[in-house]
């Protein structure tokens, strides 16, 4: 539809049901109060090892490796795998299930974000995680599958028949059910801007729908003083979002330090098949 304004034309298009439902979810999830940590972590040796593996014919994505490191750190401190049940109880899950936002192509060739959950990520090797994510990336989606990977043909347009305030009320109820959150979205979350941030530096600030969410931003080279003098190192800009009602500041700082240590040591990349 084209409408003529006072000075020029504009184009009006229908806002897809999928985007409207996702907008409802973002609105509800954005109501949660989170503490942010904008950090720079050294991934120099890890990136170097990934390049070496590529020459050997073993392609490992940076996201798969980082997800493994975060999952390992959570397995060592299960406070970050804990959720509230109501206001008086908490539940700590033994399994670390990591949701990873992946960019997929729909059957209409539009690129869209897609949430895939890697179950028991701390008990899988980097090779297994990488294979699982690459397998999902080759999938072509229908529009309704962007909302529910287990969809049985349900049309998201039917949800538009429900008033917005009722949809959002239902979403709030679901997000307060940790067992439902784990089943659908895992216990921790990682999202990345990937190629969009290539060549730029910065920290993406998203919303937190779990006790721990990690957003991956840009990679920048910095000259850092080390034991061997000044060296150029590759630094990853990462944003950590914590539920401060469940975890205090000191454990959060220790957790970030542990993730930084795992990344700096190129954890798991010497033997990508080892759990």
CATH number of the structural domain spanning residue 190: 3.30.559.10
In a domain, 230, yes or no: yes
Q: How many domains does the chain have?
A: 1
Name the nearest CA neighbour of 254 among 43, 76, 91: 76
Residues 6+ apart with CB under 8 A from 66: 43, 190, 214, 216, 236, 263
Alpha-carbon distance of 124 to 130, in angstroms, equals: 10
Q: Which residues contact 134 (CB under 8 A, 6 or more apart)?
A: 59, 61
Quick check: 199 pLDDT over 70? no
Domain membership of residue 16 (yes or no) is no
For residue 2, give the H/E element and its range: strand 2-4
What would the mean pLDDT of 145-171 be, rounded to a whole number? Answer: 64
**Residue-number span of the structural domain to which 121 is assigned:** 34-149+177-264
CA distance 264 to 161: 51
Is 11 a domain residue?
A: no
In a domain, 113, yes or no: yes
Question: Residue 195 pLDDT > 80, yes or no?
Answer: no
Residue 206 or 241, more confident: 241
For residue 24, is it within any domain?
Answer: no
In this predicted structure, what is the pLDDT of residue 27? 74
Residue 90, pLDDT > 90, answer yes
Residue 92 lies in a domain: yes
Rg (CA), the chain: 20
Query: Which tens digit of pLDDT belongs to each residue from 10-61?
Result: 888 887 777 777 777 777 776 677 889 999 999 999 999 999 999 999 999 9
Task: Look at residue 274 and tell me if it is in a domain.
Answer: no
Torsion of CA 218, 238, 123, 97, to 10 degrees: -110
Asked whether residue 163 is assigned to any structural domain, the reply reads: no
> Model-level pTM?
0.84
């Amino acid at each position: 539809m084209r409408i003529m304004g006072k000075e020029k034309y504009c184009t009006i298009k229908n806002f897809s049901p999928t985007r409207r439902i996702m907008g409802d979810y973002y609105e509800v999830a954005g109501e949660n109060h989170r503490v942010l940590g904008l950090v720079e972590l050294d991934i120099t040796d890890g990136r170097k090892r990934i390049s070496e593996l590529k020459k050997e014919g073993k392609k490992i994505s940076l996201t798969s490796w980082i997800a493994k490191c975060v999952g390992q750190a959570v397995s060592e401190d299960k406070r970050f795998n804990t959720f509230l049940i109501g206001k008086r109880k908490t539940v700590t899950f033994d399994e670390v299930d990591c949701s990873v936002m992946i960019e997929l192509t729909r059957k209409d060739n539009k690129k869209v974000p897609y949430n895939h959950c890697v179950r028991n990520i701390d008990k899988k090797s980097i090779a297994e995680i990488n294979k699982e994510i690459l397998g999902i990336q080759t999938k072509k989606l229908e529009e309704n599958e962007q909302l529910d990977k287990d969809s049985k043909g349900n049309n998201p347009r039917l949800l538009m028949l429900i008033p917005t305030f009722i949809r959002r009320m239902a979403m709030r109820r679901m997000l307060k059910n940790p067992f439902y959150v784990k089943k659908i979205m895992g216990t921790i979350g990682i999202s990345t801007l990937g190629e969009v941030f290539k060549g730029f530096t910065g920290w993406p600030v998203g919303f937190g729908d779990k006790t721990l969410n990690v957003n991956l931003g840009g990679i920048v080279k910095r000259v850092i003083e080390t034991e061997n003098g000044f060296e150029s190192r590759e630094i990853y800009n990462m944003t950590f979002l914590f539920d401060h009602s469940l975890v205090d500041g000191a454990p959060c700082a220790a957790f970030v330090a542990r993730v930084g240590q795992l990344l700096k040591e190129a954890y798991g990349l010497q033997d990508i098949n080892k759990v």
